[in-house]
Chain A
Amino acid sequence: SQQGEEDPQALSIQEGENATMNCSYKTSINNLQWYRQNSGRGLVHLILIRSNEREKHSGRLRVTLDTSKKSSSLLITASRAADTASYFCATEENAGGTSYGKLTFGQGTILTVHP
C-alpha cells in the first residue's frame, strides 16, 4: 500500500477561498515534502518539513505535521486560478540509517480553482 495517501482526491473551490489538502503516512519519517504538478509537466517542490518541525510557512502556503497522527496538511490561502494543479506529498522514511533516503509519493490531490 502507499506510504502517502492524500485526501481529498479532488478539490474544487472558488478564487479567494482557502484550499486544504491532507496527507497520511504509515512509517516513521525524516521529512515530508509537498510538490505541485501542472498537467503534463514535471513536479515542482513547494516545501519541506522535518520530523521535528510542526509548522512551516512559505508565502501563501502553510504546512503542518503531526507525527503522532502520521499526518500533514497543506493550506493554500487566498487561492488563485493559477493554483490549479495536482499536489503530492512525499515522505522520506526513517529506516534507522539503513534506508537510502528515497522519497515515497502519495496519489495526489487534484485542485481546481475557479475564477
Chain B
Amino acid sequence: SQTIHQWPATLVQPVGSPLSLECTVEGTSNPNLYWYRQAAGRGLQLLFYSVGIGQISSEVPQNLSASRPQDRQFILSSKKLLLSDSGFYLCAWSVLAGGQEFFGPGTRLTVL
C-alpha cells in the first residue's frame, strides 16, 4: 500500500534561517507531488507541484523553492525564512492530475 511521510512534524525557526522540509512517498511510482501551505483556520494554498524528477512548477511568487531529486522525494526549501512563512505545510501525491490527492501528516512551521 502507498504511504506518504513528512518530517519534521513541528519546527520552530528564527527569521532569516534556512528551511528544508522533506516528503517521501512509498508504494507508487512516478506520482504527481504537491506542496501546500495552510494558514490557521484557512484553506490550502498550492505552492508547488511536480509531474516528474526535476520538474517543478511554482504557483505563487514567494520566499520558498522546491526540488524533486528522486521520483518519490519532494523537498521544500528556503534560504532565509520570513515571519510570513509560518504555517502548516502539507505534502500530497496523486496518480492522476486532478484526481484524488493523498496527504501527508503535515509540518507545523513557526518562524519567530
- Which residue numbers of A lie inside 8 Å of B, CB to CB? 2, 4, 30-31, 33, 35, 40-45, 48, 88, 90, 92, 100-108, 110
Contacts and interface: CB of A to CB of B under 8 A. Distances in A.
A45 B97 contact: no
Contacts of B101: 33, 43, 45, 90, 103
Contact of B99 (A48, A104, A105, A106): A48
A2 B43 CA distance: 9
Given A2-B43, A33-B100, A103-B98, A43 B90 contact: yes
Contact of A102 (B90, B98, B106): B98
Given A40-B106, A43-B103, A100-B51, A88 B98 contact: no
A107 B46 contact: no
A41 B106 contact: yes
Interface string B79-112: 0000000001010100011111111111010000
B34 interface: yes
A107 B90 contact: no
Contacts of A102: 34, 46, 49, 59, 97-98
A35 B92 CA distance: 13
Contacts of B100: 33, 45, 48
3 closest A-B pairs by beta carbon, nearest first, are A101-B98, A101-B97, A92-B98
